[in-house]
Amino acid sequence: MSALTPTTRAALLSALAAIFWGTNFEATRLVLIDLPPWTAAAMRFVLAAGAAVLWLALTKGIDMAVLRRNALAFVILGLIGITGFNAALFLGMETSSPVTAALIMGTSPLTTNLIDALLSRKRPPMIALIGMGISLIGVALTVGAFSGARFASGDLLIAAGSLGWALYSIGCRRLVRAATPLETAVWTMTFGAVALLGIALAVENPVTALAAASVITWAAGLHMALIGSVLAIVFWQIGITVRGPAATSVLFNLVPVSALVVSALFGRVPGWSQVLGVAVAIFGVWLAGRARS
């Protein structure tokens, strides 16, 4: 990758980040076979936070002034974007499917921009509203809503998690002062992981569950923590830094595509409605993205 231009390299890394995020949904399904949801979420982010803090310490160094200046913001954002988002994901995946979950999450950049426009008291562009509507039709196709199926309770939880992620993304821009994207990601991840661990210890028995977990569960958990969290976040931040948020956010469309491919590799070949739903939803997100280009 050394012969590539910085822009091309950043685009490839951002695409890898989106693909890594897409693999998390199948990995979540595997982890939930052995582990209860709070333990599974805590496992992922305790490992991820530890690796992220080590990465920050070795590359940039830990700036305690940044941590003190933004401590309250990091705690609030960690509770919303890490604890809340992942609680919704792991609890929701007990009844939702990896493809549907990834597709719902794939609309979060669009939700983020619409909420940000409302908070800024700006009327969202009509093309963005149309794109949102098309994306929702795509989600409905994926879960079979037009053939009489209903959204599962897990789908609604994941939608709530997607809303939490949108608020987290907005908060990172509005509440954090003089901190790099990597520092914000590391410290919000750390505080969110502490909360997830505390809840898991209070309502479940994580030590016993983890001790009895299979090799596959540990492998899936390590994949989510190190590849689907730390590497994905770092690669995505490289893309934002080099190419800008608008150009990078388009690649988020690869998340549901990645989830669809991985699901097929694990033997659950998608039906025509799922494939069509993913395509329609991606078109809606792309169309709404034209409002920013």
Percent of the chain with pLDDT over 90: 40
Mean pLDDT of 209-237: 92
pLDDT of residue 151: 65
From CA 159, how far away is CA 24, in angstroms rounded? Answer: 16
Residue 55 lies in a domain: yes
The residue ranking higher by pLDDT, 269 or 188, is 188
**Band of the pLDDT at 77, cuts 50, 70, 90?**
very high
User: Is position 138 within any domain?
Assistant: no
223 in a structural domain: yes
Task: Judge whether 257 lies within some domain.
Answer: no
Question: Is the pLDDT confidence value at 25 over 60?
Answer: yes
Domains: count for the chain: 1
pLDDT at residue 51, as a whole number: 94
Tell me what the mean pLDDT of segment 183-196 comes to.
94
Indicate yes or no: pTM above 0.75. yes
Compute the mean pLDDT over every residue in the chain, rounded to the nearest whole number: 85
pLDDT of 292 higher than 60: no
Q: Residue 101 has what pLDDT?
A: 85
Per-residue confidence (pLDDT) for residue 128, from 0 to 100? 73
User: What is the distance between the alpha carbons of residues 163 and 141, in angstroms, rounded to a whole number?
Assistant: 20
Band (pLDDT 50/70/90 cuts) for residue 111 is confident
* pLDDT level of residue 104 (50, 70, 90 thresholds): confident
Per the rule left: phi > 0, alpha: psi between -120 and 50, beta: everything else, 177 is beta
Q: Phi and psi of 17, rounded to 5°?
A: -60, -45
- Has residue 37 been placed in a domain? yes
Mean local confidence (pLDDT), 148-172: 82
**What is the pLDDT, as a whole number, of residue 225?**
95
Burial of 140 (0-12, 13-18, 19+ CB in 10 A): middle
How many CB atoms lie under 10 A from the CB of residue 139?
A: 23
Q: Is residue 173 part of a domain?
A: yes
For residue 253, being part of any structural domain is answered with no
Domain that holds residue 59: 6-101+112-123+150-243
Lowest mean pLDDT among 29-38, 165-174, 202-211, 215-224: 165-174
pLDDT at site 291: 59
Is the model's pLDDT at 34 over the cut of 90? yes
Is pLDDT above 70 for 2? Answer: no
Residue 73 within a domain: yes
pLDDT in tens, 138-153: 777 766 555 545 667 8
Residue 141: the pLDDT is 74
